[in-house]
Structure 1
Amino acid sequence: MVLSDNQDVLNMFPHGPARIVLAIPRPKSGKNIAAKERKVGRVPSILFEQENGQEGGNKKLISVQTKQIKKLVDHLGRSFFLSRLFEVEVRSEDGVVLEKIRALPRKLHLHAGTDAVLNVTFLRAPSSALLKVDVPLVFRGDDVCPGLRKGSYLNTIKRTVKYLCPADIVPPYIDVDLSELDVGQKLLARDLNVHPALKLLVSPDQPVCNIMGARASDQQKKSK
């Protein structure tokens, strides 16, 4: 994502404290139970642990509010939602807070035709946890990028990059600086500026973006 395309999203969810997601306990699983939950405006969800980047146990069945999750996904976009820590506040039917759990959305299942939220899986994120996260990239500096100012264009190869992150240092996004890129130059995964505690889980030589020459359509316009 180029910064100028979606500044509102970043303003809405800057780096900072976890936002609250409301939930209630769900005693059973199964297709019939899930269908009933969706009919009353809830999304069947699961909380579980991940140890050293591997999915573990300690599963807890919950249901979250459909309207709240849909609003978050619509405003943030899927990749930003899946890289954001939330505080899941589990309440009883009469509103009593039973448990507060810091968690990271791990999987989001949407209906293929309507984009309705069908399921959400959350990872518990205590300070001791190491979490695999596909962190979204935000491209900045396009307004002063030498290559772009010459009429070339940005070829975005990766929109997210996977890291193993300590739970206290999960970045909701990574800034990618384009301000010094000229025509033909590229940025690799190893060039990204991240906290030293983050472990890159893809090849450091994997290209993230490059500055390409003018598109064929643009060249044809100039020749006319």
Structure 2
Amino acid sequence: MAGEIPDLHAQERTGTGKGAARAARREGMVPGIVFGGDTDPLPINIPFNELLKKLKAGRFKSTLFNLKVDGHDDVRVICRDVQRDVVKDLPTHLDLMRLRRTTKINLFITVDFVGEDDCPGIRKGGVLTVVRNEIELMVTAGDIPESVTVSLEGLNVGDNVTISQIELPEGAKPTIDRDFVICNISAPSALKSDENAEDEDGEATEAAEAPAEEEAAAEE
């Protein structure tokens, strides 16, 4: 399970309706609602600056949070909607859904790369090119992996690692239905330059030989 689920701090909002929501915004808060599970909906306020910072960090709607509200037990939530001002594009309201341990959700999981010392391609001067440092997986809320491990052991220059080659945590599966590339071992830049130079020399030689062959044909 993920070792560090980020906290999301909120306050219970007293009062509901547009009047209470406007009052919250005047105080630098963003009103919201927590729903789902076997508990009644809980109106909350979240500090505007904290919410804006998390939104700018990206993937807010696909991140699992540990919601902390004074007077209530911590609960895992995921955002289902963020309403924004149509002119300023700033958050004005958000909906959070409580999750049971058996709930299936889509989350981006970090990829850890190991085994570089046992990678022939890297020992020969190859370079690890990471195509995806995170993978979006469908996982169970009660069994979220901290990361997915990709072994580079035995890989040579030109080899790719695709999602089908990775052992995923039990119960997890990719959200993309194709065998996409996670990383590859590419040739060192010096070798690429040499290959390009050889190709250019070959093309130049072929271009020089072509007129000579045409002239010989014409003389015959």
Aligned to 2:123: 149
* Corresponding position: 1:15 with 2:2: yes
State how far apart, in whole Å, the 2-side matches of 1:37 and 1:153 are: 52
Query: How far, CA to CA, are the matches of 2:41 and 2:154 in structure 1?
Result: 47
Which of 1 and 2 has greater Rg? 2
Residue 209, structure 1, aligned to residue 170, structure 2: no
| 1:64 partner SS | strand
Correspondences of 1:43-82 after superposition (within 5 Å) = 43-49=30-36, 61-66=43-48, 78=58
User: Alpha carbons of 1:121 and 1:181: their partners in 2 closer, same or farther (altered >3 Å)?
Assistant: farther
CA contact (8 A) 1:29 1:61 kept: no
Select 2:141's aligned residue among 163, 167, 171.
Answer: 167
Deviation at 1:202, TM superposition (A): 1.8
Query: Residue 11 of structure 2 contacts residue 44 of structure 2 at CA under 8 Å; is this kept in 1?
Result: yes
Compute the RMSD of aligned alpha carbons.
4.4
Cα deviation, residue 167, structure 1: 0.9
CA contact (8 A) 1:134 1:162 kept: yes
| Inter-partner Cα distance in structure 2 for 1:37 and 1:206 | 45
One-letter amino acid matched to 1:181: L
Distance in 1 between residues matched to 2:93 and 2:191, nearest whole Å: 43
Q: TM-score, normalised by structure 2?
A: 0.61
Paired residue for 1:129?
Answer: 103
Give, as a single letter, the amino acid of the residue that structure 2 aligns with 1:162. Answer: E
Task: Find the aligned partners of 1:145 and 1:29 in 2 and give their Cα distance.
Answer: 61
Shift of 1:168: 0.8
Tell me the secondary structure at the aligned position of residue 16 of structure 1.
coil
Structure 1 partner of 2:218: none
Q: 1:54 — aligned with what?
A: none
1:90 aligns with 69
CA distance in structure 1 between the partners assigned to 2:130 and 2:65 by the alignment: 29
Cα distance in 1 between the residues matched to 2:190 and 2:82: 38
What stretches of structure 2 of length at least 5 have no aligned partner?
Answer: 85-89, 198-220
CA deviations over 1:91-111 (Å, ceiling 9, x no partner):
3xxxxx14532124567899x
Percent identity of equivalent pairs: 23
Gaps of 5+ in 1: 1-13, 51-57, 92-96, 111-115
Q: CA deviation at 1:152?
A: 1.9
Q: Residue 162 of structure 2 contacts residue 180 of structure 2 at CA under 8 Å; is this kept in 1?
A: yes
Q: Give the direction of change, closer, same or farther, for the CA distance of 1:46–1:217 in structure 2 (3 Å limit).
A: farther
- 1:198 maps to a residue whose letter is A
Q: CA deviation at 1:146?
A: 2.5
Under a length normalisation based on structure 1, what TM-score does the superposition of the two structures give? 0.60
CA distance in structure 2 between the aligned counterparts of 1:214 and 1:33, rounded to whole angstroms? 58
- State the number of aligned residues: 190
Flag the structure with higher helix content: 2
Distance 2:161 2:168 in 1: 14
